[in-house]
Structure formats: C-alpha cells, structure tokens
C-alpha cells in the first residue's frame, strides 16, 4: 500500500473522564471514498472531531500527507486542504446563499473564487436559483447542498461528511449521493460518516464499522454489504 493521505494511528479520545474512542486506527488513500458506519453513540462524530482538532486525541497520532497534525489547532488543519460538512449543516441562516459560499471561499483569490463558485452552482443548480435567498428560509435538502458547496469553496483535497443524508427526503438523499459519486470521479478523497449504511457502502471503496468507540471491522464496501453480521446490525437483515 502506498502512503495514505490520512491516517489515524491508535487514537483514543476522552470527554473528561469518559473515553469515547479506544485505540482507533484507520487510513484513507488519495481518491478513495471511505465510509464509517455504526450506531448512534458509537463515536463516529468524535472521530471526525478528533481529525479536526476538537476534541483532541489523548493517545495516538493523526497524520495528513505525512505530517503529524495531532496537536494542530482546528484553523490550521482546515488550511491544510481539509474541509468538513458537519452534522446538522450549520449554515449561516441570516446570510444569503451566496454569502454563505463566500465564507467558504474566504481565502481564495478573486479568480479562484469565481471558478469555485461557478463549479458549486454547476453541481447544485438550485443554489444558483436561490443565491440571494437567506439560507435559513430554505428546505433541509437545499441547506445540505449549501453546506457541501460551502465546504467545496475551500477546494479541499479531503472532504469530511458527517451524516449528509440525515433528515432528508429520499429523492434529495439520492441527489446528495450522486454528487458525492461525481466528486469521487473528479478525484476528490472523501471520508463519509453515515447512518444510511446501505447507500454509503454501495458508494464506498472501503468501510469501517465502529462499535462503542472500537473499530471492529474493516473491508471493502462490497464485502461489508455482503457480511451477514453487518446486514443484520445495520442493513435491516
């Protein structure tokens, strides 16, 4: 295996005296979609938080492009071409769509900014139609498109997605997953945390199963879909 873009090596994370992650190791290579599945409370969002510096790992190392980023501040990590779409979208509700996108492209030069926002509007034509509308007045699906578009405005090499399908209608979920697949085809590396295990594993090159803060299984997406224990626990039999 070539050197991975991102590695977690024996990571443990605590909230006070409560241990949330136990010796977690995983890796993501350039151009992969890697999915993390698990029940509510398993620690999935904590893994993404630890990648972004909050909460800090209490044991182990996080490396990105060969650099040890374990103790970096969140802002510095984000400048390393990593972007996150958080659970719950967290758009700036009083700002317009275009103002939200501008926040994502804050550090881009003018020409870069114009190219990036054009690309976001190509991916999500609905955002172009809503560009002067306040984000807080849009539907949940439109806000999720905006949250992804805002992350893409920083032109990340690694995109972290936390429960992108949560609370969305099936037709919107399919649009979101189609967009993720399109981004992969364009060469983006994606770490997808998702409760919709069936959709996520169909899309994934590889996947990990997290239980009570422990990685208990790693395999290809297809193999995990065919695994009887995974099917019983996460795919409805």
**Listed residue (223, 185, 231, 183) closest to 207, CA to CA:** 223
46-97 pLDDT, tens per residue?
Answer: 999 999 999 999 999 999 999 999 999 998 988 888 999 988 778 989 999 9
**Listed residue (106, 126, 182, 96) closest to 116, CA to CA:** 106
Dihedrals φ, ψ of 167, to 5°?
75, 10
Is the confidence at residue 16, as pLDDT, over 70? yes
163-201 pLDDT, tens per residue?
Answer: 999 989 999 999 999 999 999 999 999 999 998 999 999
130-150 pLDDT, tens per residue?
Answer: 999 999 999 999 999 999 999
Residues 69/80, Cβ–Cβ less than 8 Å:
yes
Lowest mean pLDDT among 60-64, 104-108, 121-125, 223-227: 104-108
Is the confidence at residue 1, as pLDDT, over 60? no
Q: What is the pLDDT of residue 2?
A: 64
**Three-class SS of residue 64?**
strand
Residue spans per domain, the chain: 1-81+157-236, 91-155
CATH number (1.10.1740.110, 2.40.50.100, 3.90.1010.10, 3.40.50.300) of 1-81+157-236 reads 3.40.50.300
- Residue showing tokens 């997406």: 221
Continuous segment of H or E residues that includes residue 191:
strand 189-193
Instruction: State the pTM of this model.
Output: 0.92
């Amino acid at each position: 295996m070539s050197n991975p873009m991102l590695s977690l090596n024996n990571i443990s994370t605590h909230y006070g005296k409560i241990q949330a992650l136990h010796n977690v190791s995983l890796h993501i290579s350039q151009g992969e979609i890697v999915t993390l599945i698990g029940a509510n409370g398993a620690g999935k969002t904590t893994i993404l938080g630890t990648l972004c510096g909050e909460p800090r790992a209490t044991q182990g190392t996080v490396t990105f492009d060969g650099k040890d980023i374990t103790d970096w501040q969140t802002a510095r990590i984000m400048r390393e071409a990593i972007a996150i779409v958080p659970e719950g979208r967290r758009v700036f509700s009083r700002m317009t769509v275009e103002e939200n996108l501008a926040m994502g492209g804050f550090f881009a030069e003018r020409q870069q900014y114009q190219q990036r926002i054009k690309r976001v509007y190509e991916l999500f034509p609905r955002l172009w139609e809503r560009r002067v509308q306040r984000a807080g007045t849009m539907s949940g699906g439109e806000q999720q498109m905006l949250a992804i578009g805002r992350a893409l405005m920083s032109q990340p090499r690694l995109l972290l997605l936390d429960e992108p399908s949560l609370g969305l209608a099936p037709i919107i979920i399919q649009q979101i997953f189609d967009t993720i697949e399109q981004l992969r085809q364009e060469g983006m590396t994606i770490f997808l945390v998702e409760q919709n295990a069936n959709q996520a594993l169909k899309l994934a090159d590889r996947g990990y199963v997290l239980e009570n803060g422990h990685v208990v299984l790693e395999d290809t997406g297809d193999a995990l879909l065919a695994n009887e224990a995974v099917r019983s626990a996460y795919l409805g039999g």
